[in-house]
């Protein structure tokens, strides 16, 4: 009988251990390949998850399944916080299919779909998104934060929003940014790209910047006349690497150590953006989820930093941040090769 009871005890202890997320001391960031959309999965040391954008709908739920596979690799089963940067189909189109596969607890966006919508499919996609969120979403304003749990013995993880719906955090009282002398304007972007949610996530000495598909003039507003972002370690290359985004004034102001671009084989990955990033004295590595097949190999980053050389690939790039060592490590899912960088 005693042996029987201890066997039961052992089984229940094992089950309890399995039910808990794995113990980790690192913060993880996964770049899911959604073929020219965006889906960035962040998992904190406490096991809390933030997903930024969900890729496309359709293709037999391709992107939702890829996000679920990334969640499995990260050892999580639910999304605690889903941030939709803006209402374009390659960012929010995948929400209904993902919501069928996994539980999504909290939804964040920049507010109601602007009127008039860009086209009729956007209206339909927005209705599907709201239905998948049970009409319960939180509207983000610059300066808002998401409160995240911290793990004992590790620094807090903070997520702060810097822009939403074209509004940016005011920076008047800060020092003037000398880079702004070179700032040039483009014609006003009236699309929802310009309303993208922008945030900075910090863990110890590490800072990560994600601006969705934000475009040129609002990028400039974030750093001119004063830089409200600061310098960052990891820069998510904005708008899949298109050159109507990634304003060099912003790039020089945030001076990242590593940049990761979520582009498709035929979307984003502009030669200009690659050139501007390479010119940054701070930059030690530029990663691309795909090789841009429309330009030369020399205009892409080096093959060792590309997760998918062929159009068919679906490999990820992921980042592991160690606050105690003040380092972060980037792994190319295709080669499994890792490189470690010092946090600023």
Contacting residues toward Zn ion, per CB under 5 A: 90, 213
What's the rounded Cα separation, in Å, for the pair 317 and 305? 9
What's the closest the beta carbon of residue 88 comes to Zn ion, in angstroms?
5
Contact yes or no for 229/223 (Cβ under 8 A): yes
Q: 64 or 157: whose CB is closer to Zn ion? A: 64
Name the nearest CA neighbour of 162 among 141, 147, 148: 141
Q: 213 or 233: whose CB is closer to Zn ion? A: 213
What's the closest the beta carbon of residue 97 comes to Zn ion, in angstroms?
17
What's the rounded Cα separation, in Å, for the pair 234 and 257? 6
Q: 227 or 263: whose CB is closer to Zn ion? A: 263
What's the closest the beta carbon of residue 16 comes to Zn ion, in angstroms?
42
Q: 90 or 233: whose CB is closer to Zn ion? A: 90
What's the closest the beta carbon of residue 37 comes to Zn ion, in angstroms?
6
**Omega cis (within 30) before 225:** yes
Q: 244 or 319: whose CB is closer to Zn ion? A: 244
State both tokens at 141.
């304003």
Q: Which neighbouring-strand residues pair with 246? A: none
What's the closest the beta carbon of residue 193 comes to Zn ion, in angstroms?
7
Print burial letters for 305-338: b (CB count within 10 Å at least 16), e (below 16): bbbbbeeebbbbbbbbbbbeeebbebbbbbeeee
What's the closest the beta carbon of residue 244 comes to Zn ion, in angstroms?
12
DSSP per residue, 195-228: G--EEEEEETTEEEEE-TT--HHHHHHHHSSS-S
């Amino acid at each position: 009988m005693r042996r029987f009871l201890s066997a039961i005890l052992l089984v229940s202890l094992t089950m309890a251990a399995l039910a808990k997320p794995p113990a980790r001391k690192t913060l993880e960031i996964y770049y899911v390949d959604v073929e020219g959309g965006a889906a960035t999965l962040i998992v904190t040391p406490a096991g809390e998850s933030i997903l930024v954008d969900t890729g496309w709908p359709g293709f037999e739920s391709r992107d939702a399944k890829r996000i679920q596979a990334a969640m499995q690799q990260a050892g999580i089963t639910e999304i605690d916080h889903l941030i939709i940067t803006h209402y374009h189909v390659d960012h929010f189109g995948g929400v209904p299919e993902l919501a069928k596969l996994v539980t999504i607890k909290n939804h964040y966006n920049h507010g109601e779909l602007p009127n008039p919508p860009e086209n009729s499919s956007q209206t339909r996609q927005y209705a599907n998104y709201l239905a998948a969120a049970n009409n319960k979403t939180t509207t983000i304003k610059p300066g808002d934060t998401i409160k995240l749990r911290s793990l004992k013995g590790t620094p807090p993880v903070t997520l702060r929003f810097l822009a939403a719906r074209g509004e940016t955090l005011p920076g008047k009282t800060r020092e003037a940014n000398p880079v702004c002398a070179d700032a040039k304007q483009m014609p006003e972007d009236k699309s929802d790209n310009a309303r993208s949610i922008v945030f900075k996530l910090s863990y110890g000495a590490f800072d990560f910047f994600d601006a969705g598909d934000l475009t040129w003039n609002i990028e400039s507003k974030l750093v001119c006349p004063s830089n409200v972002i600061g310098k960052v370690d990891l820069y998510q290359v904005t708008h899949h690497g298109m050159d109507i985004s990634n304003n060099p004034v912003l790039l020089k102001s945030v001076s990242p150590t590593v940049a990761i671009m979520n582009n498709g084989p035929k979307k984003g990955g502009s030669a200009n953006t690659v050139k501007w990033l390479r010119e940054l004295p701070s930059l030690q590595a530029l990663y691309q989820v795909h090789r841009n097949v429309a330009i030369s190999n020399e205009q892409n980053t080096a093959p060792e930093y590309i997760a998918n050389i062929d159009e068919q690939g679906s490999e990820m790039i992921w980042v592991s941040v160690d606050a105690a060592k003040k380092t972060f490590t980037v792994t190319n899912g295709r080669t499994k090769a890792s490189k470690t960088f010092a946090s600023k």
